[in-house]
Structure 1
Amino acid sequence: MDVSGDYLTDLVVGALGTVTVLRSRPVLNVSVTVLFNPWQIPFEAYQCQPAKWSNQPFGNATACFQMRRLVSDNWGVLKANITYSLLLDAGRHKWRAVFKTLSRSLTISQLLLTGKKMCQQFPIILPSCVKDYLEPIDLSLNFSLAGEVITGSKGLSPILNKYKETSEKYKLPFQKDCGMDECVDYLRVVFNFSGGDLAVIGRDTVLILTVVLENAHEDSSHTQLNFLHPSQLSFRKISNVQPSSDQIVCSDLLTDQLMERGNLSCAVNHPVFRKASRVTFNAEFDISSSEREEEIMNFTITASSGNSLRITNESSLTRNLSLRYAVNIATSGIEYTRHVNFTAGSKDLRLVKHSYQVENLGPRSLPIHVKVVVPARIGTHSLWNVTVSERHPGNHSVCQPSVHRLAVVQSESPKLPQDYVRLDCGIALCMEMLCEVAALEKHSSVIFDIQGELMSAALTELNQNKLLLVSKVSLSYDEDKYVDISEDAAHYREATIITQVDIFKAVNRLGMILGGTFGGLILLIIIIIVFYKLGFFKRNGKAGEGDRVEMTASNGGEGSSTG
């Protein structure tokens, strides 16, 4: 029996004077369509042109609903209230579009009638410049349906088909600036090292790369820059060369410290790096010291994107960075014989000792060359029997046999004590000895002793009474590998020691005695002659004769008186 008139058999149940009629409710289907006009967002609308599109709709979305019976009945026109909500850019924290109300969501209620299509338009606005125009804007629609009571049905109301989907999602794409086919990008990479193509490990703590990326063709999606760098570098930060709205986000991929290479990935202006765009930025890396001493390190930067069609002629670049290692070495005189003296013509020997200390003040061990230069011969005479020895043999230095070289006229140098002549390679034949220290350990030192017996025979040929015996030690190393970072490297890599030599002439005592005796005789003769000239000897003679006359007269008188 069809009580409800929907051409379906109803069920009647009765007992004890009560009857219950079980009727089927009219079942409705709702078809939903959303159309965009225009069907894609115009290029001009999202290319940051506020003069034309500021707060103005670029188009609209039209939502249409049509309600139909699932099964025919004789109830006539059925009514139902539909409530639906619209949401733009669902799932995004920062949305790209809003409705005219400047909200990205709307909730609408409407009365639907069977057999009649109901539509409504909703203008859409892009409130600001859109950077992410790769992905279309999503429009989500959700609805619910509540049927009204059918007139004359004694409380019967239609219901929505339970198998009908009540959620729909529509996409509004952006117009791509790619012509008729897919976008083809052309990414060009150029970079250089801000400090030149040389880095000094141990002095330079930061390495800065200036990177330029340019898209010379059509839009590039999900543009990436991949840095392949040495493992002793660790990424520090990215900074723009000039104020810019470019967004560069980098992540240092997990790198095993034992691996030789590190990897850094940077996203550039995601999701779209526009055509004719150019970005310049600095990438900074910390430099860590390493026991390995490599001559070069190489960097490779490669640009990639999500485009299926790409021009890759200049999308990768590799540059080499030359490496040097910071050292700090110095030498100085620490012990020496300050003064010796000789007597000219003697065969005396005097022991002279010059001691030099060679220090490695830096954090890295290195091989060094120690050159010792001392005057060795004057004319045909040896100056001294010099030897060079190392006081700390743990550094394993090896000294090559000495080499003599001709005297070279040196530039005049100031004399330390006045009137002394420098006894160096300017007036003597010098001896050179080269000592090689295989590895002078960091923060350690080695002492070289130069000593020998100085011979007076060679010194007398110079016909000088005051001499300065000069020795010199100079340090060298592989300058293609190491750089001395001390403030005055040239000064501390050389040292000299000076010993003062005085030569006294021998005294001839026999000559002095003979000369004194002969001089005394001459002086006595002169004194006698002077006294004689003054009449000293004549006055004495006259006085004697007077005495004799007086005595004679006295004797004669006595005789006359007795006769």
Structure 2
Amino acid sequence: MLDDSYMGYSVSVGEMNKAPLYFTGAPRFNHTGQVVLFKQGDKSWTVAQRLNGHQIGSYFGAELCSVDINSDYNTDFLLVGAPLFYQPQEKREGQIYVYTMTDEMQLKNELSVTVPSMGRFGTTITSLADLNGDGLRDIAVGAPLEDDNRGAVYIYLGDKRKGIRSTFSQRIMGQEIKSGLRFFGQAIDGKIDLGNDGLPDIAVGSHGMAVVLRSRPVFNVMAHLSFQPEEISTEKIDCPIKTDETLPMVTLKVCFEMAETTKSKAGAMNSGLNISYTLNVDPVRQTHYRGFFGTDKKARNHTNTYELREENTCFNYSIHMLKCVTDTLSPIIIKLNFSQVESENTNAILNVDSKRQAVVEVPFEKQCAKNDTCIAELEVDFSFLTPTLLVAEDNYFNVSIKLSNHGDDSYNTSLKMYHPPGLSLSKMTVKEATRQILHSCNDLQGVLDKTVCSVSLPVYRSRSAATFLTSFFILNNYKWNDTISMTIMGHSDNTNTNRTNSLTKSIRVQLEIKMAVTVEDSSTTYLNFTAEDAAEDVPKRIETIYKIANPGLRAFPVDVSLSFPTKLENNFEMTNYNVSVQQSKTQCNIADNASADCSPEKYCKIIRCDTFILDKESDVEVKLSAHVQFRDLKERIKNIDFLKKYTGDSVEVKFKSSINVGYDTQRYVLDSRKQANKYGSTKEKSHETGSPKDNDLTMKESEVQVELIILPNQHLIILTGTGLGLLLLLIITIIMCKMGCFKRKRFYTEEEEENALQAYPESTPAPTNGLINQPETEDKSDQLSEDKMLLDDGEAGDSTPLADTKEGLE
């Protein structure tokens, strides 16, 4: 042993089978500490075992305490203190190790004990006399630097297998004993009775002072619960409607039995044991409470404090319940908890090993026809409320279920529904019942094809019947078969008879699809034919494009057929027609069978295309293309009425075609709601007829307006107009000639008039026009003025010759 190991810093002695043992500690050995076990040989002491510490500086072995736990004169345990053992994360200082002494006189590590303290726990370890009366020695451990060097002592009760219990039973603070104490717990001893009361006392040393701690008598207290009557009568329990009426349930008797475990002398106990106890009815239930104290429905708990002095003390309590109790299967649990009420004058102590609670179960009576065996006779019937299961967005599938009990009370009754995983129970309501029925449905973890609903737990009464309306949410993305089967079973914990408590039914499944059929804007809506077209004798091309859209999330097969006329009135005909499906390799051919509305006799054709898949969120185009013309157009223009050659003529033909999109109506159902504008407006377009067929989302009609326009004959109009104009001019000219409009009126100048007067002398006979010779002496100017007036009168329409006018003037 090294010189600086402090060998002998602590020592303890023991005995094993009358062989003396010697323990010594070397807390600085190898900086971790060591404990050495010596046993006596024939002539000398030999080292039997060495125990090494594990933490540097922990001072392992600074305190040793050998313990004869059961007082049989054999050392059972060795307690080793390491007061400087440090746990930085938990801020704990000090630890004690408990070693068991084996039959081979070897120490075996059994337990390590520490407390949340920085007070050098384990500086002192002392074996005490039996404090609690269990026949085992107890241990006191000092922590003198705890609580800012005030100190503390920890009491550990003995344990036959581990030496001491892992948690302390009492913590005694030096500050609580006396103010000003320092290093309380630096030295401890507790093997004798200092007060002569039959109870061991403990002496604790501190800086400059020693304190004696007196022991108190320890009592075991046992609680007992009993009730009357032995069963709760269910005769008056009923739930036709919700009611607050109460019924007496049982009378509860609470008894406490007290016995001292220590061996105190008579008169050591000068006061009773104060306890506080609490009674709780149906403590596990969070709702639907079934019992309470007195008539206060909220009084589920009752607390009381009492000082026990007698060996047996009893109390009676009346417990009531509501008239409407749904659970009459599970017993009503009544639980009692009690503890000691400590005060400064407390003289007795409740043993920590006392069972501080009591529980009793109060059962309900069973009404069974045969002794205590209830035989329920459950019968299940159900029906689907729709002819098919429609798989659609946000859709529900409703089922009506009837459950009847023709036998005794049925316990833990439930409805088990087996269905495809694509159905998920949404809600379940009571439609009608013979009495109030409570139910609850729970999802089974990881189970998608089964739903379990509890019915009137725990008892479904005899001669009860209820009809439930169950609603299942339909998963749209589940892979549905053509039909599904559903099995509903009535289950209980009773023994059932041969009545039908299970039923299976099937129903056809239909899938909702979405489809919109529209006519594209690029389709031909108007054509016209003129005389120029007749000269060229070339037909015109017409195109009608139908779009079939699937805005839904489900693909489905479709059949497409188009019908259109090949001949119409006014010799209008269609040739070289062709139907093609875009985005698909589908073939289209003329149908063999005709319909009443479209037949070869009516010059009508039906084109049917092979079945193809209309993918989800996609569309396809079906195009009808053909050549159209008016047959014998030249001959028609040639033989036009004479009058219409001047006025012109026109003929209008309305060419109508229609498309019909078919699908499996047994498997699919078309959504009746209007489709999204993504695939075409819901408003009528100019080339859509708006006929009743448009109300059917699978049909659509298109109309093309065709006009034959014959313009007036311009050359004929010009020639006729010219001839008639010339004729009119001739007639007007003749009339004007007859009226003398073309006779010329001469106007003479002044010089010509003078010359004329000079040419006729005064003796000359009057001319043949009757003019009278005027005297030469008349003023010529007056004569010219008068001649001018006569000329003006001639312009007014007077056709009298100038000579006549002059004659008249004379």
- TM-score normalised by L of structure 2: 0.46
Match of 2:619 among 441, 444, 451: 444
2:397 aligns with 207
1:98 aligns with 292
Distance 1:342-1:312 versus aligned 2 partners, 3 A rule: farther
Indicate if the aligned counterparts of 2:377 and 2:496 stay in contact, CA closer than 8 A. Answer: no
Q: Distance in 1 between matches of 2:624 and 2:244?
A: 88
1:549 aligns with none
% same residue: 21
Match of 2:462 among 247, 270, 275: 275
Match of 1:493 among 693, 699, 705: 699
1:369 aligns with 559
Indicate if the aligned counterparts of 2:223 and 2:356 stay in contact, CA closer than 8 A. Answer: no
Q: CA deviation at 1:327?
A: 2.5
Match of 1:46 among 231, 234, 237: 237
- Greater shift in the superposed pair: 438-447 or 490-499: 490-499
Q: Distance in 2 between matches of 1:433 and 1:49?
A: 69
Q: Distance in 1 between matches of 2:505 and 2:594?
A: 49
1:516-555 equivalences under 5 Å are none
1:192 aligns with 383
Q: How many pairs were matched up?
A: 449
Q: Distance in 2 between matches of 1:49 and 1:312?
A: 27
1:129 aligns with 324
Q: Give a deviation string over 1:299-341, Cα, whole Å, max 9, x none.
A: 3333333335566622444442421322323253732563447
Distance 1:71-1:447 versus aligned 2 partners, 3 A rule: closer
2:128 aligns with none
Distance 1:239-1:349 versus aligned 2 partners, 3 A rule: same
Q: Distance in 2 between matches of 1:175 and 1:268?
A: 20
> Which has more radius of gyration?
2
Instruction: Verify: 1:222 aligned to 2:415, yes or no.
Output: no
Q: Distance in 2 between matches of 1:405 and 1:163?
A: 100
Local SS of the residue matching 2:610:
strand
Q: Distance in 1 between matches of 2:506 and 2:517?
A: 35
2:577 aligns with 387
- TM-score normalised by L of structure 1: 0.63
1:328-407 equivalences under 5 Å are 328-332=515-519, 334-335=523-524, 338-340=527-529, 350-363=539-552, 364-375=554-565, 385-390=575-580, 392=582, 394-403=583-592
Q: Distance in 1 between matches of 2:478 and 2:252?
A: 67
* Structure with more relative contact order (C-alpha pairs < 8 Å, separation 6 or more): 1
Indicate if the aligned counterparts of 2:594 and 2:600 stay in contact, CA closer than 8 A. Answer: no
Instruction: Verify: 1:481 aligned to 2:662, yes or no.
Output: no
Q: Distance in 2 between matches of 1:459 and 1:44?
A: 107
Distance 1:365-1:430 versus aligned 2 partners, 3 A rule: same
Q: Give a deviation string over 1:159-191, Cα, whole Å, max 9, x none.
A: 988876453322221111224222333333333
Distance 1:215-1:342 versus aligned 2 partners, 3 A rule: farther
Counterpart residue type for residue 306 of structure 1: D
Distance 1:490-1:450 versus aligned 2 partners, 3 A rule: same
Distance 1:21-1:187 versus aligned 2 partners, 3 A rule: same
Indicate if the aligned counterparts of 1:374 and 1:472 stay in contact, CA closer than 8 A. Answer: yes
2:631 aligns with 456
Indicate if the aligned counterparts of 2:487 and 2:504 stay in contact, CA closer than 8 A. Answer: yes
2:444 aligns with 253
Q: Distance in 1 between matches of 2:240 and 2:395?
A: 45
Q: Give a deviation string over 1:58-85, Cα, whole Å, max 9, x none.
A: 5423445677899999979x99668574
Distance 1:448-1:292 versus aligned 2 partners, 3 A rule: farther
1:54-203 equivalences under 5 Å are 55=246, 57-63=248-254, 85=277, 86-94=279-287, 95-100=289-294, 102=296, 103=299, 104-105=301-302, 107=304, 109=306, 120-141=315-336, 165=355, 167-179=357-369, 180-194=371-385, 196-202=386-392
2:477 aligns with 290
Instruction: Verify: 1:327 aligned to 2:518, yes or no.
Output: no
Q: Distance in 1 between matches of 2:331 and 2:471?
A: 36
What residue ranges of structure 2 are gaps of 5+ in the alignment?
A: 1-192, 200-215, 342-346, 636-650, 674-693, 714-810
Indicate if the aligned counterparts of 2:198 and 2:265 stay in contact, CA closer than 8 A. Answer: no
Indicate if the aligned counterparts of 2:431 and 2:466 stay in contact, CA closer than 8 A. Answer: no
Q: CA deviation at 1:133?
A: 1.6
Q: CA deviation at 1:252?
A: 2.9
